[in-house]
Amino acid sequence: MKIINQIDKLRSAVSSARSDNKKIGFVPTMGALHDGHRSLIERAVTECDFVIVSIFVNPTQFEQGSDYDSYPRTLDADAKICKTVGADIVFAPNASEMYPKELLSWVQVEKMTEGLCGAFRKGHFKGVTTVCAKLFNIVQADRAYFGKKDAQQLAVIKKMVSDLNFPLEIIGCETVREPDGLAMSSRNKYLTEQQRKQAPLVYASLQLCEFLVSQGQSDVKFLKSEMEKLLGKGELLKPEYIEFVDAATLDPVDGFSNDVLVAIACYLGKARLIDNITITPKS
Ligand code: AMP
């Protein structure tokens, strides 16, 4: 496995794999890899012939005053994981090469980025779609793998790829969790011992919602209030939003006629945790 930092070197490595008719898989990450990332890389390795994992803490998706400087950076450990899982290249570009001058060209998906996390993280998705468009152009993969944990990101990237005709298939991968249900995240490192004990309530509230729906409950207001009650048991948890939206369009819903994404964001100390489930209505 090679670690490549420069865009032109990455391009030539990928083009020689492509001329050997290899199917190219791409897993974009910000590093601090955990088993959630590992599952994406494993799937890419299973389904593709040549796999690139990018590790880039993208400055344009961090709002002012957020954790860009303190975001965990663990390149050596990350590269070991990528090698063990069978990736061919770790692409770790420098911010100075990704953004050499003032950026005047942005890629933005409208409407779908206004709600959920987009309502609280101004400019975040504009940074995400722009860096993904840049990385897709640099890597030129056949398939890119994204986690369902970041459900809004996945839906937005799928829309961008479809609207702008990127010749690329986007694959959504299941959320990997700790044994107590907490969705794995690089930001879980910020949790203190006491905060960590309360973190599983986030997924527990989603499971409660799923259970109540399976029992025939479909009143979104009631479901939200039951979830809030459960989250309230963690006095350190500060819910930011609980939303029920159409899983494909991200439009708010008040019932269960199509697949419904139930999405949560909570603060626990300085960690912002997000999680979600998709509920498919019984036919
Ligand atoms: P990040 O490094 O946090 O930007 O995440 C890189 C990719 O890994 C994104 O597509 C995430 O959705 C995905 N990912 C992060 N955490 C998990 C998880 N617990 N399970 C599955 N995928 C994940």
pLDDT at 283: 65
Query: pLDDT 10s digit of each residue in the chain, 283 long?
Result: 999 999 999 999 999 999 999 999 999 999 999 999 999 999 999 999 999 999 999 999 999 888 999 999 999 999 999 999 999 999 999 999 999 989 999 999 999 999 999 999 999 999 999 999 999 999 999 999 999 999 999 999 999 999 999 999 999 999 999 999 999 999 999 999 999 999 999 999 999 999 999 999 999 999 999 999 999 999 999 999 999 999 999 999 999 999 999 999 999 999 999 999 999 987 6
Digit-coded pLDDT (tens) for 141-188: 999 999 999 999 999 999 999 999 999 999 999 999 999 999 999 999
Task: Output phi, psi for 4, to 5 deg.
Answer: -120, 135
pLDDT at 272: 95
Catalytic site includes residue 37: yes
CA distance 216 to 212: 7
Sequential DSSP letters for 122-141 = TTHHHHHHHHHHHHHHHH--
- Ligand 1 pocket, mutate which of 30, 37, 61 (most atoms under 8 A from CB): 37
Q: Which of 37, 124, 149, 159 is catalytic?
A: 37
pLDDT at 270: 93
CA distance 123 to 64: 10
pLDDT at 56: 98
Retrieve residue 184's tokens. 């794995």
CA distance 26 to 40: 9
Question: Which residues approach ligand 1 with their CB closer than 6 A?
Answer: 29-30, 36-37, 39-40, 146-147, 149-150, 173, 175-176, 183-186
Read off the pTM: 0.97
pLDDT at 221: 97
Give the three-class secondary structure for 86. Answer: coil
pLDDT at 9: 98
CA distance 278 to 261: 4
Pairing status of strand 271-279 against strand 260-268 = antiparallel
Task: Let me know: does 23 contact 45? Beta carbons within 8 Å.
Answer: no
